Amino acid sequence: MAERAARHCCLGWDFSTQQVKVVAVDAELSVFYEDSVHFDRDLVEFGTQGGVHVHKDGLTVTSPVLMWVQALDIILEKMKASGFDFSQVLALSGAGQQHGSVYWKTGASQVLTSLSPDLPLREQLQACFSISNCPVWMDSSTAAQCRQLEAAVGGAQALSLLTGSRAYERFTGNQIAKIYQQNPEAYSHTERISLVSSFAASLFLGSYSPVDYSDGSGMNLLQIQDKVWSQACLGACAPRLEEKLGRPVPSCSIVGAISSYFVQRYGFPPECKVVAFTGDNPASLAGMRLEEGDIAVSLGTSDTLFLWLQEPTPALEGHIFCNPVDPQHYMALLCFKNGSLMREKIRDESASGSWSKFSKALQSTGMGNSGNLGFYFDVMEITPEIIGRHRFTAENHEVSAFPQDVEIRALIEGQFMAKKIHAEALGYRVMPKTKILATGGASHNRDILQVLADVFGAPVYVIDTANSACVGSAYRAFHGPSLLCLVSIY
């Protein structure tokens, strides 16, 4: 067989809700290899749906940590079987679903540092976790712990100013508080708590990887200005928590070289660097190559806004995270639950289920909709917490219906104006160089994008973000060493 040309590269990993995915990116930043392991399809013994278990209370949502471990075994074996040349990997980084947490049992670090290259990870890490079903971002069972945390630091806005967000049920500090309160024995037998991102990095490192500033901003525990754990928040959640978390590090940090396990079992070069893993959304921001003043709008089931900010003003809506690319800057995330399902409902009601009729309605109505304004929340909205449909005429009279064309423009203008208003509340300002990067289903409709451009007064570009978290992680793997962001973590 012809010798494969040597092709130095970096790997970008994504330990997401439904799968583990990897891409290999070469020095020209081209993706030349990708693979994935889908939890529901390829690891059926764990019995997950959408990669998770929703518990009987309808609020608790977890994922088995050994499913994530075994998925890594499988994907590396698939890469090996495909002939992937691991010896060309200069560095790797990755992403994990945000807010999820992993609980390493006392003594696990000795196992992690002395893995036998003759055995898969799953077999060797079987007894290394004090909690086998990890809370993940879809969990909403910690309302009591959220209230306790906000009370401990002076209220929701005070917590937002300190950590970038008010208390959210999915945020890790509240999840740790629940585990300490409801399973104190497991908590006492836990020597290290990782995020999904730093857990994945730990597997490659063969030792505990620190939490990075950006994903650490999704815990309600990290002071986002000083980039240190808030003692008030730690104390409100659980005792001796700081020693279990370790010291957070800049997201561009090289946290070490790859473990000898991967060198001997797969042929990685011993000098392959591991750059701190981060959250999926921060990694996507890097993957979309967002710059200051840019906005990324993901128009999917829920609409998500990514913003690059220099001087954030944390609020009661949305989240401010430390920026994964520039440690002096920040990023903001705004989630709007009434996204494409709301657009499809109005399409069905006011455009006979046809996107071309929907577009014609936008073409036949003018910018500003003659002063008619609408807000449409058929499910409880996250930003802000409200439900129902609310329509107002130019004379500021609330009405129960609009003509079909007016209804369609009111929906789209209302959705995008809400995004702009909440973005500005977090400190965002449109700049002359602002680009809007649109992705997701609705980004295929030019007439919807035209309204987006009109509302923000900025050009809109459509991008494909299918692998943005992975690709962003591979970029960060290249970027880390160039910044020589070496942090001694030993």
Ligand X SMILES: O=C(CO)[C@@H](O)[C@H](O)CF
Rule CB under 6 A: is residue 99 a binding residue for ligand X? yes
What's CA 16's distance to the chain center, in Å? 8
x/- letters, 159..178, toward ligand X (CB under 6 A): -----------x--------
- Identify any residues that bridge with 61 across adjacent strands, giving them in sequence order: 54
- Identify any residues that bridge with 24 across adjacent strands, giving them in sequence order: 11, 33
- Give the Cβ contact number of residue 335 at 10 Å: 17
Specify the amino acid at residue 259.
S
Pick the closer one to ligand X by CB: 165 or 369.
165
280 is in an annotated binding site: yes
* CB of residue 110 to ligand X, shortest distance in Å: 31
361 is in an annotated binding site: no
Structure token pair of residue 178: 């629940």
Rule CB under 6 A: is residue 281 a binding residue for ligand X? yes
Rule CB under 6 A: is residue 97 a binding residue for ligand X? yes
* CB of residue 100 to ligand X, shortest distance in Å: 8
441 is in an annotated binding site: yes
Site for ligand X in 293-352 (CB under 6 A): 319, 333
Pick the closer one to ligand X by CB: 19 or 415.
19
Choices 79-87, 241-249, 279-287, 450-458; region in contact with ligand X by CB under 6 A: 279-287
Choices 56-64, 254-262, 275-283, 309-317; region in contact with ligand X by CB under 6 A: 275-283
**With 0-12 CB in 10 A as exposed, 13-18 as middle and 19+ as buried, what is 128?**
buried
445 is in an annotated binding site: yes
Specify the amino acid at residue 310.
Q
Q: Which of 150, 280, 303, 413 binds ligand X (CB under 6 A)?
A: 280
Choices 91-99, 222-230, 386-394, 404-412; region in contact with ligand X by CB under 6 A: 91-99
- Give the Cβ contact number of residue 399 at 10 Å: 12
Pick the closer one to ligand X by CB: 97 or 468.
97
Pick the closer one to ligand X by CB: 139 or 413.
139
Site for ligand X in 32-71 (CB under 6 A): none
CB contact set of 117 (below 8 Å; sequence gap of 6+) = 260, 261, 264, 265
99 is in an annotated binding site: yes
Helix H or strand E encompassing 265: helix 260-266
Pick the closer one to ligand X by CB: 19 or 350.
19
- Furthest CA-CA distance within the chain: 76
Phi/psi at 463 (nearest 5 deg)? Answer: -130, 155
Q: Which of 137, 262, 277, 377 binds ligand X (CB under 6 A)?
A: 137
158 is in an annotated binding site: no
CB contact set of 214 (below 8 Å; sequence gap of 6+) = 251, 278, 279, 282, 321, 322, 323, 324, 331
Query: For residues 464-490, b (16+ Cβ closer than 10 Å) or e, as one string?
Result: ebebbbbbbbbbbbbbbbebebebebe
Measured distance CA(93)–CA(12) in Å, rounded: 5
Q: Which of 12, 13, 14, 17 binds ligand X (CB under 6 A)?
A: 17
Q: Are 88 and 11 in contact (CB under 8 A)?
A: no
Binding residues: 99, 170, 280-281, 355, 441-442, 445
Binding residues for ATP: 355, 441-442, 445
Q: Footprint of ligand X on this chain (CB under 6 A)? A: 16-17, 97-99, 137, 170, 218, 279-281, 319, 333
